[in-house]
Amino acid sequence: MKTSTTQPAGIATSSRKTTLADVAALAGVSKTAVSAVLNDRCGLTAKVGEKTAVVVRRAAAKLGYRTNLTARSLVTGRTGFIGFMLASSVSAGFKNPYFASYLQGAETACRRRGYGLAITCAPISEAGHFIYSNILSQRRIDALIVAGEIDTEVYKELTTSGIPYLVINAVPAKGIPTLGAIRQPEIIKFAAAMGHRRIMMTENAGAGHLGAVLRKRIRCEAAKAGVQAELVEPASGLHPNWETGFGLGRHLFERWSAKPVAERATLIFSNGVLAEFYGELLQAGLKCPEDVSLLGENSLDTCAFPVFTRLWADHEQVTADAVARLVKTVETGVPLDLAACATQVYPTSIIEGQTVKQWHPPTNIKGGGS
């Protein structure tokens, strides 16, 4: 005797692929609700309700439902990918631990929203050498996160692409969508609170108009804190972005040590360059923090000793926020709020290490010292 099995009405059989309608029938909800949950469209899951979302996910798992990305792309006109473009001038590229922390936040946020992350490096630090990456020219992405040293003219090229983009770890400037602005002012305030009145800080070469904006901002913050700031540009032939492995630590030490003792400043640079400087300091028979205080611009542990006093910032949160804002723009068509992005504040703190001391000027020297 033959036996037969029946499926509930609307549920897929093994002869065809499971659809949204099948999941909706099993979960007892609408196709719109299923789509909102499984595609996590712009936070619509929260509007559906968590209990309903759980029921939908269980139904999808039971039926073996998988989102058809090709079909979704045809319907929405979107690729389902966010791009992450890093300036090729960054040594070690995405292996650079500073930018890798940004990348981690972007990848996690994309995955949670059902998006893929496409990464690429491009020569964006000089407009004359800028070449569109394939992910831009072929519109393989819906939106873009940009990081690293960027020429002002490149922003115009990115804008004409018509793809929404956000620049992270950059100098806020009119008309440029930036998020997670550079944080030198926080370090300046800490140095001032510790009694330091002379500081040396990074000045990247070739930063153009934005470099001028940054210099003005640093000098303004230093003046407010009662600090004299000397901005140091790399010597000709050395890496323009103050990165490790290019002799910048020696260059910095030679410049610092050439000054009279009373005029030597506290140093605020990338942790890697400070580690190179520290090596030069030891070879000269000098000590830290007895002879000079060193403040790191980021929270990375560059070396086991000394433990640098350094600035901590949540890089992953910055790029997670960038993804959230870009996805909202992609899915709703509402342009980015540039003012809100530029003024968004992220928490920072100073990780106190072994390289900064409370400084008091000698009584026989007026206005000298670090």
**Residue ranges covered by each domain of the chain:** 20-67, 81-181+315-347, 184-312
- Paired sense of beta strands 309-313 and 348-351, if any: antiparallel
Give the model's pLDDT for residue 182: 66
Least confident of 52-61, 73-82, 129-138, 185-194: 129-138
Q: What is the pLDDT of residues 176-199, one digit of tens each?
A: 788 886 677 788 888 888 889 899
Give the model's pLDDT for residue 344: 87
218's CB contacts (< 8 A; 6+ apart) are 184, 185, 188, 201, 229, 231
pLDDT bucket at 316, cuts 50 / 70 / 90: very high
Rounded Cα distance between 325 and 110, Å, is 11
- CATH for 184-312 is 3.40.50.2300
Q: Look at 32 and 301; give whichever has higher pLDDT.
A: 32
Superfamily of domain 81-181+315-347: Response regulator (3.40.50.2300)
369's CB contacts (< 8 A; 6+ apart) are 197, 198, 262, 263, 264, 359, 361, 362
Contact 45, 36 (CB under 8 A): yes
User: Does this chain's domain 81-181+315-347 share its CATH topology with 184-312?
Assistant: yes
295's CB contacts (< 8 A; 6+ apart) are 187, 190, 191, 266, 267, 268, 308, 309, 310, 311, 355, 356
Q: Helix 152-160 vs helix 208-225: angle between axes, to the nearest 10 degrees?
A: 120
